[in-house]
Chain A
Amino acid sequence: MIFGLNHTLLTVAFGSASLGAVAGALGCFAVLRRQSLLGDAVSHAALPGIALAFILTQSKEPLTLFLGALIAGCLGAIVVMNVVATTRVKSDSALGIVLSVFFGAGLVLLTFSQRQPGASQAGLDRFLFGQAATLLNRDLWFMAIAGAVVLTTLVVFWKEFKLLAFDPVYASSLGFPVRALEVLLTALIVAAIVLGLQTVGVVLMSALVVAPAAAARQWTNRLSTMVVLGAVAGAVAGVLGALTSSTFERVPAGPAIVLFAAVITIFSFLFAPGRGLVWQTINMRSRHKSLRADALLVNMLDMEEQHAHDNPEHAHSTRALKAAASVTGAFDVRGSLENLNRRGLVTKLPDDRWKLSTTGTEHASELTRGENIGGTPTS
């Protein structure tokens, strides 16, 4: 067994599972409200809060650092929203400015705090890339309780948040205080981010907000299922990454967690039924095949009608059909013909010649009337 499950590792696993679950669940709302980048700005903006909280209190208590991060993170989010609302600066620029200014300030304060006498043990630099092995029991309790508070709030205001995410203007017309709800939801997202900073680090935390949510979206068309799946994906990535980091020396937790989240996301993008790229490619192929068959049927009907008065039994060669198809730009004439033959819509005659069957003629006339397009059955 790679991961010997002693007490320390259990602590690490539970801690990273809870932060991953909270980030994955709240991340769904960030992604659906197109606020993915806000998470990035918020997590970077939290760094000066952490450093300042330590400098002012000389304490490394999780609650102290959490509050510092929360306040700075919220401040960052507020600055972004106000810059967008009151100036003509677009949100991407506002996010970029806030992210770099706060992060820069955070790095300066971090360096400063480490140079203070007696602060060599501060170890605040773990907030940059995250460290799972240092999770203690008290951190675990704190993360579990804070995470439970965040998720409970999400459940309590579920109906309102769903409406806010889908149609905020309509929510406002119903009399809901949209601005206050936005602030509350953003605060929850900020809290979810801040909870993970110690383990994942400010640089990569936003990935744990976005990736599990984006993966979850691929598998479902229901918001509730998406949030549960996002939480599960976040928890799985958190546990796997944290355990990897704890087991192998010199593997930082943040990058490991984010890599696992990325694997889940890429797999979802490729293979999720319906929305996955592989499925879409298969669907598109079959749609194109069906449309090619449609086009060919219509061509054949056209050509056969030209012979209706002299020789109703006239059949056309593959070459003639190819020539006619080249006008409309259809490909794979022979493949389509074999296909239609298998479905009983055309009949294969000797000398590589083809003729519409009775059902084929009927279907082709339907198509020319604009009915049932794309409905030609293919095997």
Chain B
Amino acid sequence: MSLTPPNPNLAIEINDLTVAYHEKPVLWDVDLHVPAGVLMAIVGPNGAGKSTLIKAALGLVKAAAGDVLIFGRPYPEQRRRVAYVPQRGSVDWDFPTTVIDVVTMGRYGALGWLKRPGAREHAEAMAALEQLGMQDFADRQISQLSGGQQQRVFLARALSQQADVYFMDEPLQGVDATTEHAIMQLLRSLRSQGKTVVVVHHDLETVEEYFDWVTMLNVRRIASGPVSEVFTRANLRIAYGGRSALGAEALERDEIRDAKPAAPIVP
């Protein structure tokens, strides 16, 4: 347990999270404090443990140590307030089902055992689809969707959970411009409703434009905080270590500011 008392104002509080597959640590002693109402990107090189961080927070992979609090209470108690968007490639899109069916799955948790989704769940799923501009695809077979449309269906499914905290695994990976636009519009609207959104993100170019909070990860937590403060050249260099082509490229760019001097230089 953490030494400080849980802070109910934090949407997400992760303490000392450590995860290992086959003895090699994937996440090492990660602390993460995310205030409510921010749009946070998790960035880091391949194999940095970005997806694992989300999965461990949601109990989907077993953590060797650490605890996860949502609004000051353990995650299992707060499950209904959390929604998860897995990577699009994690399911078989040739599964015999329709778009509205998949989105309705977002209501299954609230429905509980044995109850069948009815008119109310259908309406909630349709409302979620509309927010992503996918209402015309409701009865479409999911194998007929483009990658971007699949991604929007996954987001609609999470949206139908009506949660307060959203964890999304690479929702912007490999999607078309229309989808990227629709998703970002949704994320901003979630933020304006006070929701907290955590997004595993690959594209360093858009971090500053899209997000107001960022966590840089490479097995350990390198930095976490407002984009304007921690998305610095120095932190990127630590996170990517010059090994990743993506990181190296970003380091060459001028837009990413240099670390602020610790103290103003007085002439």
Seen from chain A, the residues whose Cβ lies within 8 Å of a Cβ on chain B are 32, 156-160, 162-163, 165-167, 169-176, 217, 220-223, 225-226
B108 at the interface (CB under 8 A from A): yes
Of chain B, the residue at the smallest CB distance from A32 is: B95
Of chain A, the residue at the smallest CB distance from B169 is: A169
B105 at the interface (CB under 8 A from A): yes
15 contacts across the A-B interface (CB closer than 8 A) = A32-B92, A160-B108, A160-B113, A162-B97, A163-B105, A166-B102, A169-B86, A170-B84, A173-B83, A174-B108, A221-B97, A221-B143, A222-B98, A223-B96, A226-B96
Cα–Cα, bound, A174→B59 (Å):
11
Cα–Cα, bound, A12→B141 (Å):
39
With both chains docked as a complex, state the minimum distance between the C-beta of B162 and any C-beta of chain A, in angstroms: 13
- Contact flag A167-B96 (CB < 8 Å), given A159-B111, A172-B60, A173-B60: no
Contact A167 B105 (CB under 8 A): yes
Contact A169 B90 (CB under 8 A): yes
Cα–Cα, bound, A158→B143 (Å):
22
- Chain B positions within 8 Å of A159 at CB level: 108, 111, 115-117
B181 at the interface (CB under 8 A from A): no
- Contact flag A221-B98 (CB < 8 Å), given A167-B90, A170-B86, A173-B84: yes
- Chain A positions within 8 Å of B98 at CB level: 221-222
Cα–Cα, bound, A170→B106 (Å):
9
Of chain B, the residue at the smallest CB distance from A223 is: B96
Contact B97 A223 (CB under 8 A): yes
Of chain B, the residue at the smallest CB distance from A28 is: B96
Q: How many residue pairs, one in A and one in B, have C-beta atoms under 8 Å apart?
A: 68
Contact A221 B86 (CB under 8 A): no
Indicate which residue in B60, B95, B114, B161 contacts A156 across the interface (CB closer than 8 Å): B114
With both chains docked as a complex, state the minimum distance between the C-beta of A297 and any C-beta of chain B, in angstroms: 26
B267 at the interface (CB under 8 A from A): no
Cα–Cα, bound, A217→B94 (Å):
10
- Chain B positions within 8 Å of A167 at CB level: 86, 90-91, 105
- Chain A positions within 8 Å of B86 at CB level: 167, 169-170, 173
Seen from chain B, the residues whose Cβ lies within 8 Å of a Cβ on chain A are 55, 58-60, 76, 79, 82-84, 86, 90-92, 95-98, 102, 105, 108-109, 111, 113-117, 141, 143, 157, 161
Of chain B, the residue at the smallest CB distance from A158 is: B116
Contact B117 A222 (CB under 8 A): no
Of chain A, the residue at the smallest CB distance from B59 is: A172
- Chain A positions within 8 Å of B91 at CB level: 166-167
Contact A166 B97 (CB under 8 A): yes
With both chains docked as a complex, state the minimum distance between the C-beta of A225 and any C-beta of chain B, in angstroms: 8
- Chain B positions within 8 Å of A169 at CB level: 55, 60, 86, 90
- Chain A positions within 8 Å of B114 at CB level: 156-157
Of chain B, the residue at the smallest CB distance from A162 is: B97
Cα–Cα, bound, A32→B92 (Å):
9
Cα–Cα, bound, A311→B182 (Å):
49
Cα–Cα, bound, A32→B97 (Å):
12
Cα–Cα, bound, A254→B96 (Å):
29
With both chains docked as a complex, state the minimum distance between the C-beta of B45 and any C-beta of chain A, in angstroms: 23
Contact B111 A175 (CB under 8 A): no
Cα–Cα, bound, A223→B83 (Å):
25
With both chains docked as a complex, state the minimum distance between the C-beta of B116 and any C-beta of chain A, in angstroms: 6
Indicate which residue in A160, A166, A175, A223 contacts B79 across the interface (CB closer than 8 Å): A175
With both chains docked as a complex, state the minimum distance between the C-beta of A180 and any C-beta of chain B, in angstroms: 12
- Chain A positions within 8 Å of B97 at CB level: 162, 166, 221-223
Of chain B, the residue at the smallest CB distance from A222 is: B96
- Chain B positions within 8 Å of A174 at CB level: 79, 108-109, 161
Cα–Cα, bound, A173→B61 (Å):
11
Contact B108 A221 (CB under 8 A): no
- Chain A positions within 8 Å of B55 at CB level: 169
